Amino acid sequence: MRLPHTLLIITLLLPALATAREIPPASVIVTTVVQEDIAQNQSMLGSLYYDRVSRISSELAGLVASIHIKEGDRIKKGTSIIVLNTEILDIDISLTKTRISQIALRIEKAGKNLTRLERLYAKEGISEKDYEDALYTHQDLTKEKQATEDSLQKLLVHKKRSNIKAPFDGVILRKNVDIGDWVQQGKEIVTIGATNDLFVLVPVGETMLRHISVGDRVPVIINAFGSELTGTIHAIAPKADPKTKNVFLKVKIIPQDNISENMSATIHVATSAKQKLSIIPRDALIKFQGKDFIYTVKEGKAAILPVNIVAFLGHKVGVDNPYIVPGMAVIIEGNERLRPDQAVVVAGEK
């Protein structure tokens, strides 16, 4: 007689067990769709390069005494790069200073002699020739001292230029000498790229130029690191590629660490005139079978919708789907593990 009673209990518990197995409501954060006048854009692959590059040469011949940089170093303007040996130069400077002191003594002696002869000449105690000889001797020594001081300044300039310094803030691209090398005057020793002149060179089809202007701000992705930033179209090359007819854009970006020349960057370039596009945060996007979707909230449940992205706008995207309308709530937090038609609780709005 216990069997029917047991069956009755199981029958009564089945709905409760089924309810326990249902997915509980998910807590989500939403934002609302807005519309803006935005041009559609397309991703193009470009290369990083330094627009201002200095191939630093030595103004003097000499032996490399010390090197203060290595390839890849980032340095400030005025930083010492390479120092040439100045041992012989220092001796010449010392000798020249001694020579100037000697000439100064001779000038002092000649000056006293000239003063004495001036008094005698005024009293007609000496001939005019004797007086003029003393005068010219004093003037000649004065000129000799000036010439020797000029020679000293030249030596000091040579010593100053033996310490080769960075002409601007930059990164060392190449180093062509090492300690102990003898460098000739005019030999290229270091190549430095200006960190404040970092650009992306990107080829675009000539027909795209109708939608592009110098000064436009464009999204840029440094592919090596996945970092996103905003660049500015600085110039459009005046010459197209004769085979592909592509034109190169020069896009300036802010200085970046750990960048190497010719690394790749993705630029999103306008491909249409401005039009009304629905703008949603990239946090709202989810991938399913390689396609982009978003979740919205409909009658307390998550409703999944495909989206067609036509513009990348940094942390946002522009879509042209007619059913993505201004004011629509889209889920931006808690959407990673949602399932279609899963119950949701809106915990907040951004």
Confidence of residue 15 (pLDDT cuts 50, 70, 90): very low
Residue corresponding to tokens 């033996």 = 162
Full set of structural domains in the chain with CATH: 22-41+276-349 (2.40.420.20), 43-50+195-272 (2.40.30.170), 60-85+162-191 (2.40.50.100), 87-160 (1.10.287)
**Predicted pLDDT of residue 114:** 92
Give Cβ neighbours of residue 7 (< 8 Å, ≥ 6 apart): none
User: Does residue 6 carry a pLDDT above 80?
Assistant: no
- Find the angle CA(227)-CA(228)-CA(229) to the nearest 5 degrees: 125
- Higher pLDDT among residues 45 and 8, named by residue: 45
Q: Residues 235, 250: contact at Cβ < 8 Å?
A: yes
Helix axes 87-122 and 128-161, enclosed angle (nearest 10): 160
Question: Mean pLDDT across the stretch 183-193?
Answer: 93
Return the CA Rg of the chain.
Answer: 40
Residue 271 in tokens: 């491909």
Residue 55 in tokens: 């191939």
In whole angstroms, what is the distance from residue 178 CA to residue 11 CA?
89
**pLDDT tens digits, 121-136:** 888 888 889 989 999 9
Residue 38 in tokens: 């935005």
**Predicted pLDDT of residue 22:** 63
Report the chain's mean pLDDT, rounded to a whole number.
90
How big is the chain, counted in residues? 350
**Predicted pLDDT of residue 11:** 46
**pLDDT tens digits, 237-267:** 999 999 999 999 999 999 998 888 999 999 9
- C-alpha distances out from residue 250 to 236, 260, 271, Å: 6, 17, 17
Q: How many CA atoms lie within 13 A of 301 on its CB side?
A: 9
Exposure string over 289-313, b if 16+ CB within 10 A, otherwise e: eeebbbbbbeeebbebbebebbbbb
